[in-house]
Structure 1
Amino acid sequence: MLVALRVLNRMTTTNTRNYWLLFALAAASFAFTLSNVQYTGEEAVYPLMSYEMWYHGHILTPVMYGQDYWRPPLDNWLITVLSMLIGWSHMLVAARLIAALATVGSGLLVGWFAGRIWKEKGLVAFAALVYITLGDVLFYDGWLAYSDPLFAFFCLAAMLLGWLAVVERRVAFFAIAVLALSCAFLTKALTAYVFYGVTVFVVAYQTRGWRFLFSWPSWVIHLMALVVPILWYAMASAGGTMAHGMFDDIIDKLQGQGVLDYLHQFFVFPLQTLAQLLPVGGVVIYAVLRRYPRSRMKDPQLRTALWIAGVNYLPYWLSPQSGIRYLMPIYGIVALMLAAWIIDTEETRRLAVKWMAAAIILKYVFALWAFPLYTERFRPHIGTIARDILMQTRGAPLYVTNAAWVGISVTADIDLAIRPHPPLVMPPSNLTNGFVISYPGEVPQGYTVASRYHGVWLLCRGTICE
């Protein structure tokens, strides 16, 4: 560790080569989080669905426990292809690798855009480094097997290319932006259109680019973007379920149980956001308090980025059910702002690089030791629970109703363990004999508890319980 500290200390000098070396070290740290810990949170959702889709030959409609799922399947397709290449027993690795590659790609996008918009080579590597060392990106949501990193990559690509299209008056960029926008929708949610729409309207307002934005080539391209979800819902067998599910998800995020929920979100969410933007976000606050020179404060691109990030942030700030990872599509815009804010002042830039280097060191400690130790000591042992359930059931009919993170994770392990038998599904309403992986505390009439685990109960019904 001392050797690593000395090496990184030499690399904190502010030049482009060292920025790229630090970026590469940060990107490489994701390799150590691919398989060293079990499923974390609801990571198992997409790998489990991908396996079910592959097993049953579903292409357009994701399925979970044999039921249609309301998310589009682009992430599932990628997980399936990669899992077929490296083996289904490594499907968690496949899902995390896709997330990590999307995160690295987002960092490169941020750097490329910074160089394009400000015409400064040094800012390319620095902006990319700022993005990949944001706390939430480097330590948690940047590598977990959720769809958010891939969704963020496509959203960011659409936003940045739409921005450039308006600034440079290039229709081709609109076409690529709309392609990325469609991929974002097929990855996760309709909110991709909001992120993109806010961006192009803010840029058009700031640059007086209304005529170009509403030119007939732009109309044609953007109408094609709106056609994609309509065609998708029409083609997919569960298109109606997906449409209702995606709209309902947005509405649910806006609703709280009472005034206290909204007040809590209003005051706590900004603090949580700031914590996820460390360490560079903290350096910017330090620079503001010390009143360091801010030569780019009147930069029109910086003001545009501030408006894009602020308007897109507002709905999540005011929604009691929103989470930090839903902000990932605007992390790239924020990284641009942070990088542009501090790069012109030598003292601030050096301080930021030192803190980013320290964050990278901490990430390796986290990946190689802290997180595995925490998981081992404080998390339910998913593999142990799955093996114990299989030993108890011994090939008897087994079903699942638990859709919480432990239940999904255990089910994903069992699905792979019982191959080539079909994946677990929901129990039939007329089940008379079999086992069910259920929520703790749920014992329907006619069932008895066979075993209790942390996060799941194993229920049984019929003569098989004897």
Structure 2
Amino acid sequence: MIGKLDEFIERDPGKAFIFLLVLAIPAFFVNLGLLPLFADEPTRANVALEMILSKNYSVPTIGGEYYYNKPPLYNWILAATYLLSGNFSEFATRLPAIVPLFLFTVTIWLAVACFLRDKRIALLSAILFMVNSRMLLYDSMLGHIDIFYSWLTFGSFMLIFHFYRKEQWLQVFLFSYLITAVTFLCKGLPSIVFQGMTLIALLAYTRNLKKLFSWQHILPGLLCVFIIGAYFYNYSRYNPNLGGYFATIWDQSSQRTAVRAGLWKTFGYVLTFPFEHLVHLLPASLLLLFCVKRSSRKEIFGHPFLRFLLITFLANIWIYWLSPETRPRYLLMLYPLLLITFSYGYYTYRDSLPKTNRVFNHILLAIACIITLAVPSTLFAGLQQAVPLLGVKTAAIFVSAAFFTWLIYRLDKAKIVAFAGLLLVARLGFSWFVLPERFQRRDAVYFRHAATEMGTLSRNKPFYFYQYHPEVLTIPFHDRLIFYIERSRMKKVEFTEQDIKPGYYFTFDRDLKNPSALLLKEYRGLKLFEIK
């Protein structure tokens, strides 16, 4: 029975891939909308909500003031999600990030199956992208722009290689520049950098730099400029301050570089950078064990597709390696380039490295046993009030984890596929147990309630944020309050330096100067006033 299952997974990885994708649906979607918005989520949500309230989708705003940090394409998608779903929930906010996670995973599968013609490698590299530690425990729970943006950027890499190997240079430039125009309207200048570095590195390596001066390159480049320019032209009809817009986009791209951070901080960051990201890529980074032999490195670099992946990775990674304020989610489009290479090394060299393979399998089994034996501890963690049907859910996760652990022990060639299934079960357990526990103890829940209450009290009158000057680190907190207030009012708030107009006034760290202002309520230092 086990032998047949082993052979089936080796012979038909596509069905195993579909099974793991289906298993991932509850793992990533259960309790997705439970926690209040945090980090950069409320900023994206604010812009999309105010577009809907103002019916102006050309000009991003927060609190009625121009928002210059990012172009609006992702906000258009988020606004469309709100309108189609009929609500402005946390689940709807995170949906445009989680759906692209599945699309990204499928894209990796399709690309590897096409270019390497080994569906085992396609299965492993695609699923490892979904179950790496960074994705499992953080990025997959947030409605950030980065998964969607990285999916498009990775797609551009794959299209460049696809048309390059056919020597169809017009298509190389046309499709990559079209995607660059779209990604620029998501995130700004990083898109130009990814496009430029990838093309220059590929053309330089293949001695085709003269193609940069060909009509096949110039026309798609002009088309890209035209698309981006058309947006900014339309934007200028509502707000002529394009200089401020461009300056902010430039600042957003340059603020995390070594110039801003200083020499000493940059030096420490450069030293720890590779080790930090190997941790983020666990367990996939363990596959590096199969790629360290000199002969394997030569063979990997000798394969056209893998060589392209490594050239693309090296062409782009140095920018982030030298930028101390880089966040791991900025590199999501580069992670698959490594995962595909690691997966190729694993399937190609595991049989010729029996000792390494044996140690690797023991590591997988040990981790699986630890995860499985840890599951019953949920019964003694004080989760009874936070988690309904705690016993049933604990039993379901324990039995499922034990099943996959047994498969890891018994299978011969597909141990790592079973391990990926175990990690998805663990992610479902995380969604069932950890997220409700965080919901109960997070201050964000209190402030969501406070902001909603303030919005409800002030629904029919003007609402002002009085002397709104948040520091950079507190912007996510302030934006979260703005979103929940606007969501409950379905009207924009306003920032003001004066307290003379009738209406409701919200302050963070001060009282109003107007003697007729009435303090209605205080929320842990936040104050709501009314002037009649």
Report the TM-score range of the alignment, normalised by the length of the smaller protein: 0.7 to 0.9
- Aligned partners of 1:279 and 1:355 also within 8 Å: no
- Aligned partners of 1:398 and 1:424 also within 8 Å: yes
Deviates more, 1:272-281 or 1:134-143: 134-143
155, 162, 165: which one aligns with 1:164: 162
Matches within 5 A, 1:51-450: 51-70=49-68, 71-90=70-89, 92-170=90-168, 171-210=170-209, 212=211, 214-237=213-236, 238=239, 239-254=242-257, 255-281=259-285, 283-287=286-290, 296=300, 298-344=302-348, 345=350, 347=357, 350-381=414-445, 382-390=447-455, 397-400=462-465, 401=468, 404-419=475-490, 422-429=491-498, 431=500, 435-439=504-508, 442-443=509-510, 446=513
Counterpart residue identity of residue 206, structure 2: T
Query: How far is 1:370 from its partner?
Result: 0.8
Report the secondary structure of 1:458's partner residue: strand
Q: 1:411 to 1:10 in 2, by over 3 A?
A: farther
Counterpart residue identity of residue 251, structure 1: S
Report the secondary structure of 1:301's partner residue: helix
- Aligned partners of 1:181 and 1:192 also within 8 Å: yes
Query: How far is 1:463 from its partner?
Result: 5.4
Q: Deviations over 1:376-431 (max 9, x none)?
A: 21342133222443577686643233562222222212212123xx2212125454
Query: How far is 1:193 from its partner?
Result: 1.5
Counterpart residue identity of residue 49, structure 1: V
Q: Following the alignment from structure 2 to structure 1, what is the Cα–Cα distance between the partners of residues 296 and 157?
A: 29
Query: How far is 1:37 from its partner?
Result: 1.9
- Aligned partners of 1:20 and 1:125 also within 8 Å: no
- Aligned partners of 1:52 and 1:423 also within 8 Å: yes
Query: How far is 1:336 from its partner?
Result: 2.2
- Aligned partners of 2:6 and 2:414 also within 8 Å: no
- Aligned partners of 1:12 and 1:350 also within 8 Å: no
Q: Following the alignment from structure 1 to structure 2, what is the Cα–Cα distance between the partners of residues 12 and 43?
A: 42
Counterpart residue identity of residue 399, structure 1: Y
Percent identical pairs in the alignment equals 19
Q: Following the alignment from structure 1 to structure 2, what is the Cα–Cα distance between the partners of residues 246 and 64?
A: 16
Q: 1:45 to 1:445 in 2, by over 3 A?
A: same
Counterpart residue identity of residue 244, structure 2: T
Q: 1:343 to 1:395 in 2, by over 3 A?
A: same
Q: Following the alignment from structure 2 to structure 1, what is the Cα–Cα distance between the partners of residues 134 and 51?
A: 30
Q: Following the alignment from structure 1 to structure 2, what is the Cα–Cα distance between the partners of residues 143 and 40?
A: 10
Q: Following the alignment from structure 1 to structure 2, what is the Cα–Cα distance between the partners of residues 65 and 322?
A: 28
Q: Following the alignment from structure 2 to structure 1, what is the Cα–Cα distance between the partners of residues 430 and 477?
A: 22
Q: Following the alignment from structure 1 to structure 2, what is the Cα–Cα distance between the partners of residues 119 and 204?
A: 25
Q: 1:425 to 1:274 in 2, by over 3 A?
A: farther
Report the secondary structure of 2:423's partner residue: helix
Which residue matches 2:364?
none
Counterpart residue identity of residue 368, structure 1: W
- Aligned partners of 1:27 and 1:132 also within 8 Å: no
Counterpart residue identity of residue 150, structure 1: F
Q: Following the alignment from structure 1 to structure 2, what is the Cα–Cα distance between the partners of residues 94 and 388?
A: 21
Report the secondary structure of 1:136's partner residue: helix
Counterpart residue identity of residue 376, structure 1: Q
TM-score in terms of structure 2 length: 0.75
Q: 1:24 to 1:197 in 2, by over 3 A?
A: farther
- Aligned partners of 2:177 and 2:195 also within 8 Å: no
Report the secondary structure of 2:527's partner residue: strand
Q: Following the alignment from structure 1 to structure 2, what is the Cα–Cα distance between the partners of residues 106 and 214?
A: 33
Q: Following the alignment from structure 1 to structure 2, what is the Cα–Cα distance between the partners of residues 23 and 389?
A: 42
- Aligned partners of 1:280 and 1:356 also within 8 Å: no
Q: Following the alignment from structure 2 to structure 1, what is the Cα–Cα distance between the partners of residues 24 and 7?
A: 13
Q: Deviations over 1:288-333 (max 9, x none)?
A: 5799966535434323322322331222222222211111222232
- Aligned partners of 1:12 and 1:354 also within 8 Å: no
Q: 1:316 to 1:110 in 2, by over 3 A?
A: same
Q: 1:225 to 1:377 in 2, by over 3 A?
A: same
Q: Deviations over 1:100-142 (max 9, x none)?
A: 1112112222222212222333333333222222222333223
Which residue matches 1:457?
526
- Aligned partners of 2:31 and 2:431 also within 8 Å: yes
Which residue matches 1:3?
none
TM-score in terms of structure 1 length: 0.85
- Aligned partners of 2:456 and 2:488 also within 8 Å: no
- Aligned partners of 2:31 and 2:435 also within 8 Å: no
Query: How far is 1:453 from its partner?
Result: 4.4
Q: Following the alignment from structure 2 to structure 1, what is the Cα–Cα distance between the partners of residues 281 and 8?
A: 20
- Aligned partners of 2:300 and 2:307 also within 8 Å: no
Report the secondary structure of 2:329's partner residue: helix
Query: How far is 1:56 from its partner?
Result: 0.7
Counterpart residue identity of residue 200, structure 2: F
Q: Following the alignment from structure 2 to structure 1, what is the Cα–Cα distance between the partners of residues 223 and 145?
A: 24
- Aligned partners of 2:63 and 2:495 also within 8 Å: yes
Please say which structure displays the higher CA radius of gyration.
2
Report the secondary structure of 1:236's partner residue: helix
- Aligned partners of 2:161 and 2:308 also within 8 Å: no
Q: Following the alignment from structure 1 to structure 2, what is the Cα–Cα distance between the partners of residues 354 and 155?
A: 30
Q: 1:450 to 1:159 in 2, by over 3 A?
A: farther
Q: Following the alignment from structure 1 to structure 2, what is the Cα–Cα distance between the partners of residues 267 and 378?
A: 34
Query: How far is 1:192 from its partner?
Result: 0.9
Q: 1:247 to 1:444 in 2, by over 3 A?
A: farther
Counterpart residue identity of residue 203, structure 2: A
Counterpart residue identity of residue 475, structure 2: A
Q: Following the alignment from structure 2 to structure 1, what is the Cα–Cα distance between the partners of residues 256 and 51?
A: 28
Deviates more, 1:17-26 or 1:45-54: 17-26
